[in-house]
């Protein structure tokens, strides 16, 4: 029985180890993609604003003086005046402008209701900070809505 190592074995082993090392270096050098499970979910309100509003109302273009991409829709007190302006336009169905892609009535109503509720809650929780939030109250707007025939 011959116990000698074949002549090609050390070079084949070295080549295999080099490939493993290079493969590991390649995998570690690739930019890591965030896992879908680890990224924070986008709220339905934010998704709607991103889909229909951000193209014009962003920090770069600021159409109408609004940058909705940087305004936190979940914490409206940080940018209450921005969301108040947006809410008025959404109630009147003035935005998105005619000719642009627009959400359906159900989506409009959902976003308007959600913004009203968030602004009203913020006004109740922080009356000294959220001075303009009180104007979003459905009670406040109800007479005007009836007079104009608005259903929102």
Domain residues for the domain of 61 are 44-148
Is residue 26 domain-resident? no
Is residue 132 domain-resident? yes
Distance CA 62, CA 56 (A): 7
Does the global pTM surpass 0.95? Answer: no
DSSP for 70-88?
TS-SSSGGGGHHHHHHHHH
Is residue 31 domain-resident? no
C-alpha distances in angstroms, 72 versus 40, 49, 91? 14, 11, 19
Helices and strands, number each (H, E), in the chain:
5, 0
35 — pLDDT class (breaks 50, 70, 90)? very low
Is residue 53 domain-resident? yes
CA 91 and chain centroid, separation: 21
Is residue 127 domain-resident? yes
What is the average per-residue pLDDT within 73-96?
A: 93
Q: Give the count of domains, the chain.
A: 1
């Amino acid at each position: 029985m011959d116990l000698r190592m074949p002549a090609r074995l050390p070079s084949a082993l070295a080549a295999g180890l080099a490939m493993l090392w290079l493969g590991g270096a390649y995998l570690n050098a690739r930019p890591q993609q965030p896992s879908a499970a680890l990224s924070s979910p986008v709220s339905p309100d934010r998704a709607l604003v991103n889909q229909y509003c951000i193209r014009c109302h962003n920090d770069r273009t600021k159409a109408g003086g609004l940058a909705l991409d940087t305004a936190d829709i979940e914490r409206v007190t940080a940018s209450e005046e921005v969301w108040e302006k947006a809410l008025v336009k959404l109630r009147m169905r003035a935005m998105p402008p005619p000719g642009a892609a627009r959400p359906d009535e159900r989506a409009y109503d959902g976003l308007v209701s959600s913004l009203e509720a968030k602004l009203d809650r913020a006004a109740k929780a922080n009356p000294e900070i959220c001075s303009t939030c009180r104007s979003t109250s459905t009670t406040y707007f109800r007479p005007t809505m009836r007079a104009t025939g608005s259903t929102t």
